[in-house]
Homo-oligomer: A and B are copies of this chain.
Amino acid sequence: LTFRLKILGANSAAPAFNRNQTSQVLQAGSVNFLIDCGEGTQLRIAKSGVKINKIDHILISHLHGDHFFGLVGLLSTMHLFGRDKALNIYCPSPLQEIIDLQFKYSDTRLNFPVNYLFTDKTNDDLIFENKEITVNKFLLDHSIFCTGFLFREKPGKRKIIPGKIPAGLSIPDMLKLKEGLDITNDEGEVIYKNSEYTFSPKKPISYAYCSDTKYDESIIDIIQGVDLLYHEATFGNDMSDRATETFHSTAQQAAEIAKKANAGKLLIGHYSVRYRELAPLLEEARNIFPNSDLAIEGETYDLEIKTVDA
């Protein structure tokens, strides 16, 4: 499995300096997740090479316009381009009312079903699962209800540690060990403890998305050890009061979260329109967490699969 993240926009409230509002596509195996959908996202999906009707899941973190104003236009275009399969939208519940109202007055009936799956105030709960991955949403601390999303590859089959295959192990028991189960005898006693005979050949990959939030340590346990963390960094640290006031973070704060969560890599984004140059934000983050980068519209970030030797 690979995770490929395409940044479609990483600016905050308004477009500026050729940077557009927030949107990303995460390609996780064969599934494309569209994460947030600022105005004009459909144009940037087209540029990215992702076919809009290959997107079956849209996740909206919250109802500030820079995260969803492009959704109604995207749905219209999916309709115009002949979509008939269902689309799943994970979002705060009022979004359905907003979309429905616009289609009511334009007398539009979409040719495809839209399943709205409303996010609620439960923290760190599963919202999507297939054979290969899970997606959890978790609560962020923003001025309105807002959630982040954590995408995790499921652990793969375990491998038997070379030289450790017990003599006379039956094929069914071998398969059980690979599934991660212990082998017991008829009395229910463990005769081969899984962890002593197997190892996981790879570390499952994971990606966490924190769209709009003030500095909030309560997310650290949830995203602990994530391979890639996208965390908003609307301001530089000289604006930390303004960040707190507006329920946003500074680049330094994003980096502190990445460090405390032992993230593999940090991408910052959601830049204020006040910043023409982003290098100072990056430098600020790298001072705390060296493996930081800027989320740049149009760029692709691949999550490497880490294989583990026994």
A residues with CB within 8 A of B? 13-15, 39-40, 42-43, 46, 63-66, 69-70, 72-73, 76-77, 80-81, 92, 94-95, 97-98, 101-102, 105-108, 143-144, 273
Q: Closest CB of chain B to A140's CB: distance in Å?
A: 15
Known: A72-B65, A97-B101, A101-B97. A80 touches B40 (CB 8 A): no
Cβ-defined contact, B80 with A273, below 8 A: yes
Partner of A80, one of B13, B72, B92, B106: B13
Cβ-defined contact, B105 with A143, below 8 A: no
Q: Please give, as numbers and ranges, the residues of chain B lying within 8 Å of A273 by CB-CB distance.
A: 80
Q: Closest CB of chain B to A276's CB: distance in Å?
A: 14
Q: Closest CB of chain B to A232's CB: distance in Å?
A: 16
Which of A40, A101, A143 counts the most chain B CB atoms within 10 A? A40
- Please report the C-alpha to C-alpha distance between residue A273 and residue B76 in the assembled complex, in whole angstroms: 13
Q: 3 nearest interchain CB pairs?
A: A40-B40, A39-B73, A14-B77
A-B contact pairs, 18 of them (CB 8 A): A13-B76, A14-B42, A14-B80, A15-B46, A15-B77, A39-B39, A39-B73, A63-B102, A63-B106, A64-B106, A65-B72, A65-B102, A66-B76, A95-B105, A98-B105, A101-B101, A106-B144, A107-B144
- Please report the C-alpha to C-alpha distance between residue A31 and residue B14 in the assembled complex, in whole angstroms: 25
With both beta carbons as reference points, the residue of chain B lying nearest to A20 in the complex is identified as B43
Q: Please give, as numbers and ranges, the residues of chain B lying within 8 Å of A101 by CB-CB distance.
A: 97-98, 101
With both beta carbons as reference points, the residue of chain B lying nearest to A69 in the complex is identified as B73
- Please report the C-alpha to C-alpha distance between residue A97 and residue B100 in the assembled complex, in whole angstroms: 12
With both beta carbons as reference points, the residue of chain B lying nearest to A81 in the complex is identified as B14
Partner of A40, one of B39, B77, B144: B39
With both beta carbons as reference points, the residue of chain B lying nearest to A78 in the complex is identified as B14
Q: Please give, as numbers and ranges, the residues of chain B lying within 8 Å of A42 by CB-CB distance.
A: 14-15, 39
Q: Please give, as numbers and ranges, the residues of chain B lying within 8 Å of A66 by CB-CB distance.
A: 76
Cβ-defined contact, A72 with B69, below 8 A: yes
Known: A97-B101, A98-B102, A105-B98. A65 touches B69 (CB 8 A): no
Q: Closest CB of chain B to A308's CB: distance in Å?
A: 45
- Please report the C-alpha to C-alpha distance between residue A43 and residue B15 in the assembled complex, in whole angstroms: 7
Q: Please give, as numbers and ranges, the residues of chain B lying within 8 Å of A144 by CB-CB distance.
A: 105-107
Q: Please give, as numbers and ranges, the residues of chain B lying within 8 Å of A108 by CB-CB distance.
A: 65
Q: Please give, as numbers and ranges, the residues of chain B lying within 8 Å of A46 by CB-CB distance.
A: 15
- Please report the C-alpha to C-alpha distance between residue A247 and residue B106 in the assembled complex, in whole angstroms: 14
Known: A14-B81, A39-B39. A63 touches B105 (CB 8 A): yes
With both beta carbons as reference points, the residue of chain B lying nearest to A66 in the complex is identified as B76
Q: Please give, as numbers and ranges, the residues of chain B lying within 8 Å of A65 by CB-CB distance.
A: 72-73, 76, 102, 106, 108
Q: Please give, as numbers and ranges, the residues of chain B lying within 8 Å of A70 by CB-CB distance.
A: 39
With both beta carbons as reference points, the residue of chain B lying nearest to A15 in the complex is identified as B43
- Please report the C-alpha to C-alpha distance between residue A98 and residue B40 in the assembled complex, in whole angstroms: 19
With both beta carbons as reference points, the residue of chain B lying nearest to A70 in the complex is identified as B39
